[in-house]
Amino acid sequence: MEDTYEKKLFEAMADYVKEKSQSNNSTKEELLLQSLHLTNYLGQSRSFIFNNREVRSIESSIIHPVTVDLMTAKGACGSYAYILCRLLKQLEIPTRIAQMKVNGEYGGHILVEAKTSKGWIVLDGSYDLYFKKPDGNLASFADVQANWEYYRSQVPANYDYNYSYEGVRYTNWEKIPVLMPLMKKAFSLFIGKERTEGFSLRTLFLRKFYVLFWATCFIYLMIVLAVLRRYMRKNRRTLTAHLSGLFSGKRTPSIESGGLMRRRA
């Protein structure tokens, strides 16, 4: 139910973006920029209200679905990135969440990259920011990183210049020791090293209620199977005796225990 509610919200937002693009033949670039503008508008209007107010619940603290970011934008750049990424996914545009390196450490600022026919382009929902190359096409993170002195002239007046595009990663493969490095090796083996480096694991968990639903179903199934297995082991001899008696035409003592008791009497 929660996942359906969240999905309906982003469906409505996606419809609004399409309407604002004012054409049934809207280019992907128009959809991207309208999504960026809408994300920034929603985030700014909500952060103004919730920035200095505490909103705590089990849902917001432990699960933290995208609906919490959409309502409060208390996750700062992360909230903008999750909202934009979820909206673009609703528009069926491939996305990945980019963790910018700031002052030598990754994750200092969170962005979104979207895939177009001309490659990946970078979008910063926090500042309603996108970059244009000299030829007029939208720029990628790599473009901005390679020529920051050129692109920094395109940022707004309130921009934090610590966000200087010094580096990026899409998944923290060291977050969980042993497990995550093993996952990275497995991914590298199956999809290649380059695609693994550009793979954003977070985008798979944007629909948290959907993931939790299927995880709960899986756990429930495992419990049911474990209980059935235990029951089968415990009652295997009795079941074997019943089945052998059934197929041989003989009555088993367990079935005819009442008769045996009478004969003994």
pLDDT one-digit tens code per residue, 193-216: 989 999 998 998 898 888 889 999
> Domain of 82?
2-169
What was the pLDDT predicted at 65?
87
* pLDDT of amino acid 63: 79
Structure confidence at residue 83 (pLDDT) = 95
Residue 41 lies in a domain: yes
160 and 179 co-located in one domain: no
State whether 11 and 114 are in the same domain. Answer: yes
Asked if residue 263 belongs to a domain, the reply is no
Give me the pLDDT at residue 262, please. Answer: 46
Ranges of residues in the chain whose predicted pLDDT is under 50: 252, 254-265
For residue 90, being part of any structural domain is answered with: yes
Q: Are residues 181 and 159 in the same domain?
A: no
Both 28 and 141 in one domain: the answer is yes
User: What is the residue-averaged pLDDT of the chain?
Assistant: 86
Give yes or no: residues 62 and 116 share one domain.
Answer: yes
Q: CB–CB of 85/95 below 8 Å?
A: yes
Domain boundary among 169, 191, 219: 169
Tell whether 202 and 215 lie within a shared domain. no
Is residue 33, in this structure, part of any structural domain at all? yes
In a domain, 264, yes or no: no
Q: Are residues 116 and 235 in the same domain?
A: no
**What is the per-residue pLDDT for 68?**
87
Q: Does one domain contain both 115 and 234?
A: no
Residue 265 falls inside a structural domain: no
Q: What pTM does this model have?
A: 0.81
Question: Is residue 49 assigned to a domain?
Answer: yes
Which of 146, 169, 192 is at the close of a domain? 169
Q: Which of 169, 194, 221 is the last residue of a domain?
A: 169
pLDDT of the residue at 20: 86
Give pLDDT, residue 258: 47
- Number of domains present in the structure of the chain: 3
Domain check: are 52 and 154 in the same one? yes
Give yes or no: residues 108 and 126 share one domain. yes
